[in-house]
Amino acid sequence: MSRINIFLIAPWLLVLILVMNMQESQLPSWLQWMGKIVPMTPAPEMYCKDLDESPLLKLDKGTIVRQLNNMNDWMMKQAVITTQFELQNAEAENWMAPFVGQKVQMTAAGTVMAGTSLEGFDEKDIDISEDGKRLVIHLAPTKLYDPQIDERLTYAKVENGVFVSNEDVRLSEEARLQAVTNINNEACKSTLLQDAADRTQVNLEKLIKSFNPALESVDVVIDAGTCSVSQ
């Protein structure tokens, strides 16, 4: 573009800028007619909604079902339980060969998990009020899961006072079954099932309420399960 053309265009560009950035009443009379040709763009308005007046986010039952299935481990309660028992067939344990015929007191420990099962949990177990402000979730009673024996906490003591550490002790299948049975019995007699129900109820209600503060109430209905002690 030649220098002459630039000199010819520049004044008109200046006029356009003035027209677009000034209110019509502020323009000189000889420029007001430009507003008819080049409409002035109003400044954008800022809207700030009051959170108290914002509409409540509608809850979707399907979403709640999927979220709870992802949080099954989070709702568990665990406890480490120690048990003691005597081995009846010492000759069956290789590490006990030197102590065959003697009484051997075993100490074993296992981690027991308690929680609700979400198998079969679906939208029928969720109640949402018509206004979307009250939520009720019905969960199955808590139950105990098979304990996991911790070999690091397993050791033996022979009647003559000899101590055998966990580095040498290895539970046979029979001894392991005995330990699992004993630990299950102790867990059944403890408050673990009720503790798991309380933990699930309190934490889940808080979590769901944090997702949607506009909820007036969140109620998780869950009971402590029952179990029987093996003889």
pLDDT at 160: 81
Return the residue matching tokens 């480490």.
80
Domain co-membership, 56 together with 141: yes
For residues 211 and 176, state if they share a domain: yes
Same domain membership, residue 57 and residue 33: no
Closest C-alpha to 211, from 137, 153, 160: 137
| pLDDT, mean of residues 148-152 | 90
Q: What is the pLDDT of residue 14?
A: 52
Q: What is the DSSP letter of 38?
A: S
Q: What is the pLDDT averaged over residues 194-208? A: 91
> 165-195 pLDDT, tens per residue?
888 888 888 889 999 999 999 999 999 999 9
Task: Round to whole Å and give the CA distance between 192 and 142.
Answer: 9
Q: Do 95 and 170 belong to one domain?
A: yes
**Which is higher by pLDDT, 98 or 13?**
98
The mean pLDDT of 112-140, rounded to a whole number, is: 91
Asked whether residue 21 falls in the same domain as residue 65, the answer is no
Q: Which residues contact 29 (CB under 8 A, 6 or more apart)?
A: none
3-state secondary structure of 77: strand
Same domain, yes or no, for 28 and 81?
no
Mean pLDDT of 106-113: 94
> What is the chain's percent helix, strand, coil content, to nearest 5?
40, 20, 35
Position 212 in a domain:
yes
Q: Based on the domain organization, do 31 and 56 belong to the same domain?
A: no
pLDDT confidence band for 13 (50 / 70 / 90): low
Q: How many domains does one find in the chain? A: 2
Do residues 133 and 213 make contact, with C-beta atoms less than 8 angstroms apart?
Answer: no
Q: Domain range spanning residue 202?
A: 51-221
Q: Quick one: average pLDDT of 127-150?
A: 92
Q: Does the pLDDT at position 35 exceed 60?
A: no
Residues 171 and 57 in one domain: yes
Shared domain check, 178 and 68:
yes
In this prediction, residue 74 carries a pLDDT of 61
Q: What is the pLDDT of residues 46-68, one digit of tens each?
A: 233 344 444 444 567 888 888 88
33 pLDDT tier (thresholds 50, 70, 90): very low
Query: What is the sign of the dihedral through the CA atoms of 175, 176, 180 and 186?
Result: positive
- Mean pLDDT for the chain overall: 77
The answer to the question of residue 43 being in a domain is no
Please report the pLDDT score of residue 183 as a whole number: 95
Q: 124 vs 37, which has greater pLDDT?
A: 124
| Between 98 and 185, the higher pLDDT residue | 185
pLDDT-based confidence at 40, cuts 50/70/90? Answer: very low
| 163 and 70 fall within a common domain | yes
Q: Are residues 143 and 103 in the same domain?
A: yes
> Is the confidence at residue 19, as pLDDT, over 70?
no
Residues 58 and 92 occupy one common structural domain: yes
Within a domain: residue 231?
A: no
pTM listed for this prediction: 0.67
